[in-house]
Structure 1
Amino acid sequence: MLGHIELAVSTAMYGMGIVAQSVAARRADRPGTGLGLLARLATDRLYQLGFAGQVGGFALAFLARAELPLYLVQAGTSCAVGIATAFGVLALGWRVRPVEVAMLGVLAAGLVLLATASVPSVAHDIPAGLGWVLLGSPLLVGLAATWACRRDSVLFLALLAGSAFAVVAISGRSLADEPLHQLPLNPLTWLMLLAALLGQACMSVALARGSATSTVATMDAATMVLTSVVGIAALGDRIAPGREWSVVLGLAFVVLGVLVLGSAARVAPVVAHRPAREAV
């Protein structure tokens, strides 16, 4: 039960962090994005607030991975795009469409299917082959992100952010049950933090250049698919007997929900930072 509470609070913090970061990133964007954009965002209080939400969500999701399978934890955090949409509508005047309301229902149904099929368990140790892949991934993501920034490829940046956060989730699943005082001595801890920083950088640039919700939806879909496959195949994530169909259908619902919700909410970022006198 504690893991489910941690996951719920984590999702809420992620959603609010997405809204704050997207508004801050768009108002800070101007010619010469990339490292210059990240430097400007580092001094933006709204972005700092959003980043704090992301850090809090990350910490709680990390704790939830100690007992919950990756397919449930990542689906839960992916639903932050739904929380972000609802918060944007209520607090910032974002426009909402019928399809977005329908997709919120699809997300909820997917989470129910996954939650009822999940079985708490402690993760297996990461196999050697997968460990080498994880170790090399930050370098590959960093090189690919440099290429994507030069070509202004928002979709590719979102996919790279999703891949980096998949490394975070996989490493975190293996580390979450370890004593906290031993974490600084484990190389996986530093790999996880490096991947988190890379993912954050890719996401920040993508948020500045594209739709907030579509960027986060693409990123989360990539993370969810990668981590679910690795968790079940290599880390010993368990499924209740006879409920494999629930996991497949639940993941399909959540992926569909975040992707459609992201593509449908094209106008939200524009409304979010429009001056009040222009909106009248």
Structure 2
Amino acid sequence: MATRLATDPCYATGLAAQVAGFLLAFYARETLPVYLVQAAACAAVGVAAVIGAIALGWRVTRAEVAVLAVLTVALALLAGAAQPSRVAAVPQATGWVLTALLAACLALVPAAWRARGAVPLAGLAGTAFAVLAVASRPLPSLEWPALPTHPLSWLTLASAALGQVLLAAALQRGSTTSAGAAMDAVTMVVASAAGIALVGDQIADGRIPWFVVGLVLIVAGVLTMARVGTVVAECPRRIDAALSDHPIPQGHIR
């Protein structure tokens, strides 16, 4: 199973793009709050729809266009609410809280594996990626020689590895859209709350309503896109075909 995914050109390309996105998001968090960076990452589902329509001939429905408009408004609201700041250091307790959250995520994997569908595993993947987002917030402000020995660096790598494994497992059990939407929604909510509570992400004065409305819209937009999105690319079909002889039920790629 893992070998087939690793050798599939579409999955390999997607993984490479995800690594590139991680690096860009890593440096963006040097001055931007976690909630804004994660909102941009969640809105990537809209970018994917546009690229798919242009390059792969996907049919973009009116409902999808409406969702893209909602995501655009949400990003504008969150960008307006964001208060740029640098986080050079966090209390030691922050690292322990994030470690406990990742440990709880790992402990719930057996239960999520026994559950039906992709959502439980995707939700845990989202939690792991939320830990990654918050743990990596102070790292870009550090000198490069300090990164290998910093505890948050190792926590970032551990959460990235766990999140990627859980996402791959979720993709075996359900459609790309449902797994991705569940993961993004959980990541957005958990990372936003943890970023404000644990690493001091700030909201501009008088812009809390902008933040709340933007957060609600971005989560609603991602979840709605999973329901109305039309994905007709050939690569996801090849992944499903490669995994079709496994006993895990396969989702329908819409």
TM-score over 0.5 (shorter chain): yes
1-side partners of 2:180 and 2:53: how far apart?
Answer: 17
1-side partners of 2:224 and 2:58: how far apart?
Answer: 17
1:85 aligns with 2:75: no
Find the counterpart in structure 2 of residue 63 from structure 1: 27
Do the aligned partners of residues 222 and 124 (structure 1) sit closer, same or farther apart at CA in structure 2, a change above 3 Å counting?
A: farther
Report the aligned-residue RMSD: 2.1
Alignment of 1:100-139 (within 5 A): 100-123=64-87, 125-139=89-103
Find the counterpart in structure 2 of residue 200 from structure 1: 164
Could you tell me how far 1:90 is from its partner in structure 2? 2.9
Could you tell me how far 1:260 is from its partner in structure 2? 0.5
- Which residue, 231, 239, 243 being the options, matches 1:268? 231
Residue by residue over 1:187-209, the C-alpha shift from the partner in whole angstroms, topping out at 9 and shown as x without a partner, is 21111111111111111121232
| Unpaired runs of at least 5, structure 1 | 1-36, 276-280
1:49 aligns with 2:13: yes
Alignment of 1:1-280 (within 5 A): 37-123=1-87, 125-265=89-229, 267-268=230-231, 273=236
Do the aligned partners of residues 140 and 51 (structure 1) sit closer, same or farther apart at CA in structure 2, a change above 3 Å counting?
A: same
Could you tell me how far 1:151 is from its partner in structure 2? 3.4
2-side partners of 1:137 and 1:39: how far apart?
Answer: 30
Output the TM-score relative to the length of structure 1.
Answer: 0.78
Do the aligned partners of residues 94 and 210 (structure 1) sit closer, same or farther apart at CA in structure 2, a change above 3 Å counting?
A: farther
Identity %: 46
Residue by residue over 1:57-89, the C-alpha shift from the partner in whole angstroms, topping out at 9 and shown as x without a partner, is 000100000000111111011111111222233
| Unpaired runs of at least 5, structure 2 | 239-254
2-side partners of 1:233 and 1:137: how far apart?
Answer: 14
2-side partners of 1:81 and 1:87: how far apart?
Answer: 10
2-side partners of 1:254 and 1:184: how far apart?
Answer: 34
1-side partners of 2:236 and 2:201: how far apart?
Answer: 42
Residue by residue over 1:75-129, the C-alpha shift from the partner in whole angstroms, topping out at 9 and shown as x without a partner, is 0111111112222333334333221110100000011111122121012633444
- Asked whether the equivalents of residues 211 and 269 of structure 1 are also in contact (C-alpha less than 8 Å), the reply is no
Amino acid at match of 2:26: F
1-side partners of 2:200 and 2:18: how far apart?
Answer: 27
2-side partners of 1:273 and 1:137: how far apart?
Answer: 32
Do the aligned partners of residues 274 and 188 (structure 1) sit closer, same or farther apart at CA in structure 2, a change above 3 Å counting?
A: closer
More displaced stretch, 223-232 vs 61-70:
223-232
Question: What secondary structure is seen at the aligned counterpart in 2 of 1:268?
Answer: coil
1-side partners of 2:193 and 2:88: how far apart?
Answer: 14
Could you tell me how far 1:221 is from its partner in structure 2? 1.1
Amino acid at match of 1:143: A
1-side partners of 2:52 and 2:172: how far apart?
Answer: 17
List 4+ stretches of structure 1 deviating above 6 A.
none
Output the TM-score relative to the length of structure 2.
Answer: 0.86
- Asked whether the equivalents of residues 56 and 233 of structure 2 are also in contact (C-alpha less than 8 Å), the reply is no
Could you tell me how far 1:146 is from its partner in structure 2? 3.4
1-side partners of 2:112 and 2:88: how far apart?
Answer: 35
Give the number of equivalent residue pairs. Answer: 238
